[in-house]
Amino acid sequence: MLRPEAVCQELEAPLEQLRRDGYARLGRVLSDTGARRLRTRADDLMLGRVAYPGLFFQHDSKTGRYEDLERGLGWIGPSRSYRKVEKLELDPLFFGFVENPLFARIAANVLGAEVTLYRAVLWNKAPHGGVDLPWHQDDGRFWGIDRSPTLQIWTALDDAPAEAGCVEVVRGSHRDGLATPEGGTVFETRFDDSC
């Protein structure tokens, strides 16, 4: 599903930026055909045309407030308004993309020989509504994991312009540890005003 030139993409500069800033852009690595296949599969999962026991679903809140998200409901019927579909490693198409040769090279460089998948998640922004996600850290006691995740790879399946609410990262924050031992949501009071 990768673009042919992405398979052997040079990684020295992106890996240096990752170490320095906590993130790096790889550029466009997913082929048009691959993006189309994954978008179709995402629709199939949200609309119930393809199902796997154990998938996790969460709808946007009706109010648009993160605090009002309903938890624990799972799949509640066909809808393109799920904000999250998790455990995508259960789907062979998504898992095949996750373990592609480029990502495998990155993981081996950053993590070494032993790689464990923490989460494979589809984040969806429905055409209407949506939720403002507060700053957060996917780490800490809140997540119930036995070690801190050290690598996340994010791939856009559609255009993700800033006005649509794209992903934001605080440069260098990977060196500062957790804002709280719990992890999860980072409240405004935890930000240093000197930044």
Question: How do residues 1-29 score in pLDDT, each as one tens digit?
Answer: 999 999 999 999 999 999 999 999 999 99
148 pLDDT higher than 90: no
Mean pLDDT of the chain: 89
% of the chain exceeding 70 in pLDDT: 96
Place of tokens 């990977």: 174
The pLDDT of residue 191: 56
Which whole number is the average pLDDT over 175-193?
Answer: 75
In which band, very low, low, confident or very high, does the pLDDT at 193 lie, cut at 50, 70 and 90? Answer: very low
Q: pLDDT of 76-110, one tens digit each?
A: 999 998 999 999 999 999 999 999 999 999 999 99
Place of tokens 């990684």: 11
C-alpha span between 180 and 123 (Å, rounded): 24
Three-state SS for the chain is: CECHHHHCCCCHHHHHHHHHHCCCCCCCCECHHHHHHHHHHHHHHHCCCCCCCCCEEEECCCCCCHHHCCCCCCCCCCCCCEEEEECHHHCHHHHHHHCCHHHHHHHHHHHCCCCCCCCCEEECCCCCCCCCCCCEECCCHHHCCCCCCCCCCCCCCCCCCHHHCCCCCCCCHHHCCCCCCCCEECCHHHCCCCC
C-alpha span between 175 and 177 (Å, rounded): 6
132 pLDDT higher than 70: yes
The pLDDT of residue 194: 45
The pLDDT of residue 53: 95
195 pLDDT higher than 70: no
Instruction: Say which range, 19-33, 146-160, 180-194, has the weakest mean pLDDT.
Output: 180-194
The pLDDT of residue 192: 56
Which whole number is the average pLDDT over 109-128?
Answer: 89
69 vs 111, residue with greater confidence: 111
